[in-house]
Copies of this chain bind each other. A is one copy, B any other.
Amino acid sequence: MPGNSFGEFFRITTFGESHGAGIGVVIDGMPPGFAISEEAIWANLKKRAPGQSSVTTSRQEKDHPRILSGTLNGQTTGTPICILMENEDVRSADYDPAMFRPGHADYTYFKKYGIRDHRGGGRASGRETAARVAAGAVAKILLHHHGIAVFAHTISVGNVHATRFEQSAIEMNPIRCADPEAAMAMVRAIEKAASKRDSLGGIVEIIAEGVPPGLGDPVFNKLDALMAMALMSIPAVKGVEIGAGFKVAAMRGSENNDPLTTNGFLANNAGGILGGISNGEKIIARIAVKPTPSISLKQQTRRQSGEPAEIRISGRHDPCICPRIVPVAESMVAIVLADRWLAQNAIR
């Protein structure tokens, strides 16, 4: 199937370009009888919206969601839910459309489709993730009903690493870091990079609590495999790990195996997933987020016509995308969990 749908039971299809009429999503498979509102969706979208602080772009995207279908008197009916966010503040692109921006998908979209949507990235723009967050907001309503909560936080930016975890701190700082002091250092690092017309990457961690054992469908639709796909599909993500992740490579079996007891596990190197199925512990994933490719430093590139060129990307861009990826990553994990929740229902 073409690539704009994800999920099998809780299935989302996103559409729209950054500089077109709007961005939207159709959610098919949300069970009937759940209260949803544009306000609840907006509460999630606000976390992704630009213009929140010094470390995010000053662009304004109103993103106000309209629920076009699938509800009656504020309740889901079991029919598909379309949520549309019409674009506003659509400036014409701030860069030369005849050049390929390094680190962007301009070149590959052109090679794939033979056509180029130069209007700010088109479908490859991070703006598409607003549709994911809207869908994630709906998924969270289903999960919440079943006692499952999903959240994410920034654990590193550049060379600054969080060393403490205070969940309540996450929404108290612009970088969404659970370590208030590290958060301040992260902001300073980003401001410094931005002042040099450069950008920074980082790592975001996603945690799901309250997931019962049994979710995930071997051997390909494993919970971790679906999470890996969901998270890697987010623009700027270059790596995904579960539990101890890449650290397992240097561990011995006796260190890495989580001992079982009558009441669960004594450790969680598995990140809550064994054999692709949730084991009742916290689900833990981390993603590597690349530094924003849009920088105003001079870069070497080529024109569409093939000639070499230099480019300086002007315009309003995030010097570090981590805080705005937090709600997107949360949403993608929520969508996977909602999907596998429904999948597990079917097995009887």
Residues on A facing B (Cβ under 8 Å):
1-6, 8-9, 11, 13-17, 20-22, 24, 26, 28-29, 31-33, 66-70, 72, 75, 77-82, 84, 100, 102-105, 107-109, 111-115, 117, 119, 122-124, 128, 156-159, 193, 198-203, 213-222, 224-233, 235, 238-262, 266, 270-271, 273-280, 288-295, 297, 299-302, 306-308, 342-348
Contacts and interface: CB of A to CB of B under 8 A. Distances in A.
B248 A288 contact: yes
A16 B218 CA distance: 12
Given A3-B220, A21-B66, A111-B213, 8 more contacts: A3-B218, A3-B219, A15-B26, A108-B214, A240-B241, A253-B291, A260-B302, A345-B347
Copies in the complex: 4
Contact of A302 (B14, B219, B261): B261
Contact of A279 (B111, B215, B221, B291): B111
> 10 closest A-B pairs (Cβ-Cβ)?
A105-B275, A3-B217, A3-B221, A239-B241, A108-B277, A229-B229, A199-B253, A103-B257, A111-B213, A228-B232
A330 B297 CA distance: 38
A302 to B, nearest CB: 5
Contacts of A199: 252-254
A198 B174 CA distance: 45
B271 A238 contact: yes
B274 A72 contact: no
Given A17-B79, A112-B214, A278-B108, A4 B72 contact: no
Contacts of A117: 72, 77, 79
Given A103-B253, A103-B258, A253-B103, A229 B225 contact: yes
